[in-house]
Amino acid sequence: MTVGVHTRMPLGTRRFNWPSPMVGGTVDIIRTVMFVLAILWVLSQLVVTRRKLRAGQVVIPPLFAATLVFLVCILVVAALGASPLHLLWLFLLSFVLGLALLLFPPGMKLTLACLGLLAGLPSLDEPQPASRRKIGSTARRHRR
């Protein structure tokens, strides 16, 4: 290597020499834990949302949109090989972007389509919600 010539380092390589191997190992553990916690949070939100949809309970669209945005952030961080510690600020940003996503009609359609896919088709084994129609003749209600 020629002295004074700067070479570019490939993406994902470390630029700093850690003072001890313990510090580098600790950071790697923290990164791994952060990545696993992010994935577990997204999966738990998806499971809870699916249960709420199946039970006919209220689902909060901005929270679901934020979950989708954070899922995309996790995929981008993994694809680029960036530090999973970026997920800390991306987690907060995903709530703002999730809310902004719902302000535009295509974003709302995307969120509702994803909710529909998450709910899936009803199973024949699960009890169906009771009908709200009144049984009987409607003649008395329509007389003048």
102's CB contacts (< 8 A; 6+ apart) are: 61, 62, 65, 108, 111
Does a structural domain hold residue 73?
yes
Q: Is residue 50 in some structural domain?
A: yes
CB atoms within 10 A of CB 71: 19
111, 61 Cβ separation under 8 angstroms: yes
Q: Where are the beta strands (DSSP E) in 1-144?
A: none
Q: Is residue 94 part of a domain?
A: yes
Q: What pLDDT score does 23 carry? A: 56
Considering its fold, how many domains does the chain have in total? 1
pLDDT digits (tens, 9 = 90+) for 110-121: 999 999 998 886
What's the rounded Cα separation, in Å, for the pair 78 and 63? 22
- Say how far apart CA 33 and CA 84 lie, in whole Å: 9
Q: Using one digit for the tens of pLDDT, what is the confidence trace for 18-70?
A: 444 545 678 889 999 999 999 999 999 999 999 999 888 999 999 999 999 99
| Within a domain: 62 | yes
Q: Is residue 95 part of a domain?
A: yes
Cβ 83 vs Cβ 24: under 8 Å:
no
Would residue 60 count as lying in a domain?
Answer: yes
Tokens matching residue 63: 């929270």
Q: What is the pTM assigned to this prediction?
A: 0.68
Q: Which domain holds residue 105?
A: 25-119
Q: Is residue 7 part of a domain?
A: no
Does residue 41 belong to any structural domain of this protein?
yes
Q: Rounded distance, CA 30 to CA 51, Å?
A: 31
